[in-house]
Amino acid sequence: MEENQTQLVSDAVDYKGNSADRNTSGGWVAAALILGVEICERLSTMAIVVNLVTYLVGTMHLPSATSSNVSTNFGGTSYMLCLLGGILADTFLTRYWTIAIFAVINAMGTCLLAISTGLPQLRPPPCGPAQSNECVEANSLQMGVFSCALYLYGLGLGGIKSSVSGFGTDQFDKNDKKEKQQMASFFDMFYLIINIGTLLAVTVLVYIQDKVGRSWGYGICSVTMLLAAFIFLSGTKKYRYKESPGSPVVQILQVLVAAIRKRNVDFPSNISHLYEDPAQELRLSHTNKLRCLDKAAVITSKDAGISESPTPNPWSLCSVTRVEEVKMLTGLLPIWATTIMFWTVYAQMASFSVQQALTMERSIGNFEIPPASFNVFMIGSIMLTLAIYDRLIMPLFRKTRKPQGLTNLQKIGFGLFFSIIAMAAAAFAEMKRLSVAKTKGTTTLTLPVSGFLLLPQFILVGIGDAFIYAGQLDFFITESPRGMKAIGTGLFLTTIALGLFGSSILVEIVRNVTETNGGHDWLAHRINDGRLDYFYGLLAVLSLINLGLFLVCAKRYKPNHGEVALRTNDKVNVDVPPKEESA
């Protein structure tokens, strides 16, 4: 009997609701089935994102800046939908059902994209690039169908991305030494899968879209996702399922609502009168910052009954530990805000940089590189940077007094620094391209200038991505409260979303400010008529200012995990302080 007990996973159940057996559930087999969904999601997402502007400009005949905004708005919305997916998974659905349902929605989105790009009635008549002023833009119906398909896919993306990594780690028992090591390997495998999917997307699928047909490329994505969903469902009996701890977003809202409700209540003379959950395993000590939030833990006459009911209404009374967790999250916001700018720079690699490549010489012998495939140099630089850091730089750090290597804040700083250099290099490359366009004529289809002139901006953004992605994810997860680790991932995803939205907003501001009567603004209808180099220069200046703000915030940031105290058997004082007033 005792031997059987050791084979059971304490915090997980099987598909029947019984304690999960270590030998028949979870592990690498179950994790591999989940990773299949992730590689198909990444394959589809990158195939859509990096090649979207070429379709909008070349087929739908949208202006250059408008096409860029459509691309970044789609990306930003998709990442914001990850938060919705996380709330649904933690509060209403489980991670398993969230992945299953949204994988089907994802496949429906790519299927509709295949139909939208395949039917001639759903796109404007073709025209030559030299006569782009006479081209007919896509009408409302055509853009409506295409947008509906695009955002249906984005909804599926948000649901999958919010749960797939979490459900994958659920397949390993962190209390078992062997499986804990396997869990660490799972994260390495997860990142490898992301890069493999991205490489296949920006090479094979982009080539199929450009040379065979968009509908074929999107159709392949739809079929592979449906196949991955079927394989995922086939592993239902193999998975381990864990009880959801509840949505951290809801927990944050509970503290805010409780504090607002008691905004007129006086603080007790002794902080020991603040409410603390007697069932809390680990507690955070009270701090004096953001005292307004402490109102949520003040016990009033309306809360006096908690001595009989150990679980008070969390919308009116929250524990000190819960309040301190929210305070800790607010301390992350300055760093959070100063990392958004990097993703605004990153957005240009799939929008304006692809449009630049579209006008340049891209041939190697008889093979012409698709413009969107230039992103392969960014992906390659990410993987090469990570390999150099892990194999060459880290061994040097281990010989010093800093065996852990660069801190997460230092990695973020390096990422921001490389984004500045990338935009400066992009501005110089665009100046060269525009000088050729002015000599040969702005209506020239392919300018006699090599597309490899764009490599520095792709490579430098890739190096920055390698540093900032790892730094941000590590920072937001490790510095988030113990009970709100999920919100750390959410904060990271929102920086990407807001960075993409920020690109759209900045494009509109630049267009309105630089608009001239009878002339061309910086981001003109045709890229050869504008001054994209000025726009890149502006991004470099804004990124430099942002780096300065980040350095100030990083220097002032103080990790505040609070003094953790173990639960005691002492009864918590729940007497109502005599001077308090009801809210």
Q: Quick one: 168 and 262 in the same domain?
A: no
Per-residue pLDDT band for 567 (boundaries 50, 70, 90) equals: very low
Considering Cα of 575, then 577, then 581, then 583, what sign does the dihedral take?
Answer: negative
What Å distances lie between residue 116 and 144, 146, 186, CA to CA? 10, 6, 37
pLDDT value at 565 more than 60: no
Structure tokens at 313: 């209404």
More confident residue, 73 or 441: 73
pLDDT value at 313 more than 50: yes
Average pLDDT (482-495) is 75
Q: Quick one: 168 and 297 in the same domain?
A: no
- Helix boundaries (H) for 201-281: 206-211, 214-234, 248-261
More confident residue, 266 or 484: 266
Question: Tens of pLDDT along 124-183?
Answer: 888 765 555 577 888 899 999 999 999 999 999 988 888 887 788 888 887 777 877 777
Among 2-11, 83-92, 396-405, 464-473, the range of highest mean pLDDT: 464-473
Q: Please give the Cα distance from 342 to 410 (Å, whole number).
A: 15
The type of residue at 386 is L
Helix axes 95-118, 140-169, angle to 10 degrees: 150
Structure tokens at 91: 């509060």
Return the percent helix, strand and coil in the chain, to nearest 5. 70, 5, 25
Question: Tens of pLDDT along 45-66?
Answer: 888 888 888 889 888 888 888 8
3-state secondary structure of 352: helix
Per-residue pLDDT band for 289 (boundaries 50, 70, 90) equals: confident
The type of residue at 284 is L
Per-residue pLDDT band for 110 (boundaries 50, 70, 90) equals: very high
Considering Cα of 32, then 37, then 40, then 42, what sign does the dihedral take?
Answer: negative
pLDDT value at 306 more than 70: no
The CATH number of whichever domain residue 59 belongs to comes to 1.20.1250.20
Domain of 307 in residue numbering reads as 248-330
Q: Please give the Cα distance from 17 to 24 (Å, whole number).
A: 14
Domain end call among 303, 330, 357: 330
Q: Quick one: 165 and 228 in the same domain?
A: yes
pLDDT score, position 463: 93
Residue whose structure tokens are 């993306």: 157
Closest CA to 428 of 455, 462, 461: 455
Q: Quick one: 147 and 238 in the same domain?
A: yes
Question: How many structural domains are present in the chain?
Answer: 2
Domain assignment present for residue 198? The answer is yes
Average pLDDT (543-564) is 83
pLDDT score, position 374: 87
Q: Quick one: 205 and 257 in the same domain?
A: no
Q: What percent of the chain has pLDDT above 70?
A: 87
pLDDT value at 362 more than 60: yes
More confident residue, 576 or 304: 304
| HEC secondary structure over 421-446 | HHHHHHHHHHHHHHHHHHHHCCCCCC
| HEC secondary structure over 395-423 | HHHHCCCCCCCCCHHHHHHHHHHHHHHHH
Q: Please give the Cα distance from 386 to 379 (Å, whole number).
A: 11
pLDDT score, position 490: 76
Per-residue pLDDT band for 544 (boundaries 50, 70, 90) equals: very high
pLDDT value at 518 more than 60: no
Domain assignment present for residue 335? The answer is no
Domain end call among 299, 330, 361: 330
Q: Quick one: 253 and 233 in the same domain?
A: no
What Å distances lie between residue 463 and 5, 279, 366, 385, 388, CA to CA? 48, 46, 30, 6, 11
Question: Tens of pLDDT along 166-225?
Answer: 788 888 887 777 877 777 677 667 777 787 888 888 888 888 988 888 899 899 989 999
Q: Please give the Cα distance from 50 to 555 (Å, whole number).
A: 36
Q: Quick one: 265 and 127 in the same domain?
A: no
3-state secondary structure of 580: coil
**Residues contacting 482, CB < 8 A, separation 6+:** 282, 325
pLDDT score, position 280: 65
Q: Please give the Cα distance from 251 to 328 (Å, whole number).
A: 13
Count of Cβ atoms closer than 10 Å to residue 172 Cβ: 25
At residue 282, what are phi and psi to the nearest 5 degrees? -125, 135
For the chain, the residue count is 583
pLDDT score, position 560: 61
Structure tokens at 131: 């006569």
Domain assignment present for residue 88? The answer is yes
Residue whose structure tokens are 């992945």: 99
Q: Please give the Cα distance from 52 to 54 (Å, whole number).
A: 6
Is 0.85 surpassed by the pTM of this model?
Answer: no
Domain assignment present for residue 103? The answer is yes
More confident residue, 534 or 442: 534
Among 107-111, 249-253, 293-297, 520-524, the range of highest mean pLDDT: 107-111
pLDDT score, position 23: 81
pLDDT value at 575 more than 50: no
Q: What is the DSSP letter of 241?
A: B
Domain assignment present for residue 553? The answer is no
Domain assignment present for residue 80? The answer is yes
pLDDT score, position 553: 93
Q: Quick one: 85 and 178 in the same domain?
A: yes
pLDDT score, position 582: 38
pLDDT score, position 442: 59
Q: Quick one: 29 and 172 in the same domain?
A: yes
| HEC secondary structure over 29-57 | HHHHHHHHHHHHHHHHHHHHHCCHHHHHH
Residue whose structure tokens are 């001639």: 120
Q: Quick one: 222 and 273 in the same domain?
A: no
Among 214-223, 282-291, 398-407, the range of highest mean pLDDT: 214-223
Radius of gyration of the chain (CA): 27
> pLDDT averaged over the chain?
82
Domain assignment present for residue 57? The answer is yes
Per-residue pLDDT band for 581 (boundaries 50, 70, 90) equals: very low
Q: Quick one: 240 and 261 in the same domain?
A: no
In contact, 532 and 348? CB cutoff 8 Å:
no
Average pLDDT (459-466) is 93
Q: Please give the Cα distance from 546 to 540 (Å, whole number).
A: 10
**Residues contacting 199, CB < 8 A, separation 6+:** 376, 379
Q: Quick one: 27 and 108 in the same domain?
A: yes
Domain end call among 286, 305, 330: 330
Closest CA to 509 of 176, 69, 62, 22: 69
Q: Please give the Cα distance from 46 to 228 (Å, whole number).
A: 17
Domain assignment present for residue 556? The answer is no
